[in-house]
């Protein structure tokens, strides 16, 4: 198959807003692909490469302007082999060898193929936002139930591998993909709850209400003395967190797959800055001056028994038994099962008073829906927040002259298009953060102008806002009101940013600070999460705290 065929399918996907039409275009390509071509084609159409980090950045590619080939000749296999070479190139002289490989690849590419390759190599090609559409396409191409494809993907964590399994082995092969200790599964995610009262009304009394920490998601696998730790993006961090490994190794079990959060706490047990936690994941040395504590809230496997399909109540019983000893009790996420409304409110108040984000309300009868964001888990936080993609920035003026300040914010297109602009903000930025933006944004620039820069979709920022309003100025028809920066989210990719639908859902929200504010636990915004104006959240950080939001690396 020619690489040009992949470009044609990508163009067909871009040209339509119909999810069904997108899936059909991808399915047609997958059905024509040879067995060895299925995995690379699937990865590329999901905006990724199957080789992992390639060691190629914009600085290298900017030096590689090459005359394009006159006619398509590159094959899928040739491009995939070139990417494998790039990923495996390291050590002394690797830069020169990498450039030689890139020269050969670009020399064989046409004028249409060259920019596509650049976007693919730099991770700009859709940023994985088409993942759900590609899964639908795999089901169509293999003529198998979409549910079987999705479950196999959750268990394997690899979209290309799942596509190959479906197309080569059908339902039988997909059903054989099960949880395996030592191979991470995609984590179950929570949806924003409009308020504690609304979450309880939606899910009923048969729930657990647990602390929502301002930490980093971890998944821990144990097989005998071998303990491994992954982040929410399934990046392994085992070598960076020996204290977590030691705590899990001390548990009274042989095999386990555990879900939880980790964060750094101070001597009083209060959470330290989110940045302190994130800094550990980017360290080459385990001794970073910050110790992490694990807080476990779920168990997916225990001593030979898979628990994914069991209701949460069964999984919590298994976790309670595992952590029953006083020496391990502190590893359990604080919470209350089947609480009365006043007990649930007390959990929320305790979480906020302890410096945490809020609570999670979880249905006790729900299985573990790996990789899905459903209503069975709902998070309740003090104020509206959204995780958005930074798509541009303007040069500041006044005291901000010479620094990139006013950032342009985009919400994720659920159909896989480019981020949809929903507003701008320069509020909530400390001098340290402004300096970081000015230093970092040019590395992600797609275009540079006298007024500022247009950024490739690669950075995610958490924004607090009062509400949203209808606006004809922006393509999504909605704009943020009183948006301010809380922090950057190096633990999230643009594929995990909030969608334009999440922004539109705030059109019916109540403005933060509206009547009904609770006089109990202070959350810094004047609204208690039991009230009507609650969506994803945290306190609006004052300038003295803003420095803790400077990014540190992926987690």
Any idea which residues carry the catalytic annotation?
212
Q: What is the DSSP letter of 178?
A: -
Q: Dihedral, CA atoms, 73, 42, 490, 90, nearest 10 degrees?
A: -50
Residues in the chain: 555
* CA gap 449, 389 in Å, rounded: 20
Residue closest to 545 by CA, chosen among 267, 218, 268, 271: 271
User: Could you tell me which residues come within 8 angstroms of residue 253 by beta carbon, excluding any fewer than 6 positions away?
Assistant: 222, 302, 303, 322
Helix (H) or strand (E) holding 524: none
* Chain-centre distance for alpha carbon 464: 18
* CA gap 157, 222 in Å, rounded: 18
* CA gap 396, 30 in Å, rounded: 48
Helix, strand, or coil here: 360?
strand
* CA gap 7, 18 in Å, rounded: 18
Return the residue matching tokens 């394009």. 68
* CA gap 103, 120 in Å, rounded: 16
Burial of 111 (0-12, 13-18, 19+ CB in 10 A): exposed
* CA gap 5, 294 in Å, rounded: 47
Q: Dihedral, CA atoms, 140, 142, 143, 147, nearest 10 degrees?
A: -70
- Residue-by-residue DSSP string for 365-389: T----TT-EEEEEEEE-SS-EEEEE
User: b/e string for 173-195 if b means 16 or more Cβ within 10 A?
Assistant: bbeebebebebbbbbbbbebbbb
**Strands 452-455 and 445-449, bridge-based pairing:** antiparallel
* CA gap 268, 33 in Å, rounded: 59
* CA gap 406, 388 in Å, rounded: 14
Q: What is the DSSP letter of 266?
A: -
357 and 524 in contact (C-beta within 8 Å)? no
């Amino acid at each position: 198959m020619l690489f040009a065929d992949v470009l044609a399918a990508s163009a067909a996907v871009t040209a339509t807003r119909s999810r069904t039409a997108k899936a059909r275009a991808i399915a047609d390509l997958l059905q024509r692909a040879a067995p060895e071509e299925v995995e690379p084609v699937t990865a590329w159409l999901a905006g990724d490469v199957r080789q992992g980090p390639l060691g190629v950045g914009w600085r290298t590619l900017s030096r590689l302007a090459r005359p394009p080939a006159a006619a398509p000749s590159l094959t899928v296999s040739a491009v995939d082999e070139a990417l494998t070479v790039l990923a495996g190139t390291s050590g002394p002289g690797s830069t020169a060898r990498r450039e030689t490989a890139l020269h050969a690849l670009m020399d064989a590419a046409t004028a249409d193929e060259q920019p596509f390759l650049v976007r693919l190599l730099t991770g700009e090609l859709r940023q994985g936002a088409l993942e759900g559409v590609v899964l639908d396409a795999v089901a169509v191409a293999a003529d198998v139930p979409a549910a079987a494809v999705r479950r196999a993907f959750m268990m394997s964590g690899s979209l290309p591998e799942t596509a190959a399994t479906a197309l080569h082995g059908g339902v039988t092969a997909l059903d054989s993909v099960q949880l395996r200790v030592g191979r991470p599964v995609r984590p179950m995610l929570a949806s924003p709850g409009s308020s504690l009262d609304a979450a309880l009304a939606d899910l009923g009394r048969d729930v657990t209400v647990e602390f929502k920490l301002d930490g980093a998601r971890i998944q821990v696998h144990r097989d005998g003395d071998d303990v491994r730790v992954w982040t929410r993006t399934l990046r392994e961090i085992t070598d960076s967190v020996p204290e977590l490994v030691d705590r899990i190794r001390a548990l009274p079990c042989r095999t386990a797959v555990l879900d939880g959060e980790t964060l750094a706490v101070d001597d009083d047990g209060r959470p330290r800055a989110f940045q302190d936690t994130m800094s550990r994941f980017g360290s080459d040395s385990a001794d970073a001056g910050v110790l992490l504590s694990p807080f476990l809230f779920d168990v997916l496997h225990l001593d030979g028994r898979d628990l994914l399909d069991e209701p949460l109540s069964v999984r919590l019983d298994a976790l309670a038994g595992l952590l029953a000893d006083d020496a391990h009790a502190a590893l359990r996420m604080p919470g209350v099962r089947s609480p009365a409304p006043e007990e649930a409110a007390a959990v929320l108040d305790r979480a906020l008073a302890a410096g945490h984000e809020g609570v999670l309300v979880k249905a006790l009868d729900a299985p573990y829906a790996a990789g899905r964001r459903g209503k069975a888990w709902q998070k309740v936080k003090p104020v509206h927040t959204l995780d958005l993609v930074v798509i541009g920035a303007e040069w500041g003026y006044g005291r901000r002259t010479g620094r990139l300040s006013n950032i342009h914010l985009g919400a994720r297109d659920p159909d896989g298009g480019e981020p949809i602009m929903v507003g701008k903000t320069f509020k909530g930025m400390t001098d340290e953060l402004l300096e970081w933006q000015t230093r970092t944004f040019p590395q992600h620039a797609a275009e540079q102008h006298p007024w500022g820069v247009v950024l490739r979709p690669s950075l995610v920022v958490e924004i607090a806002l009062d509400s949203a309003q209808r606006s004809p100025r922006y393509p999504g028809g909605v704009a943020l009101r009183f948006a301010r920066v809380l922090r950057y989210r190096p633990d999230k990719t643009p594929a995990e940013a909030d969608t334009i639908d999440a922004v539109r859902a705030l059109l019916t929200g109540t403005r933060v600070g509206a009547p009904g504010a609770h006089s109990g636990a202070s959350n810094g915004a004047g609204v208690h999460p039991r009230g009507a104006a609650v969506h994803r959240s945290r306190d609006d950080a004052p300038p003295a705290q803003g420095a803790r939001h400077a990014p540190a690396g992926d987690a």
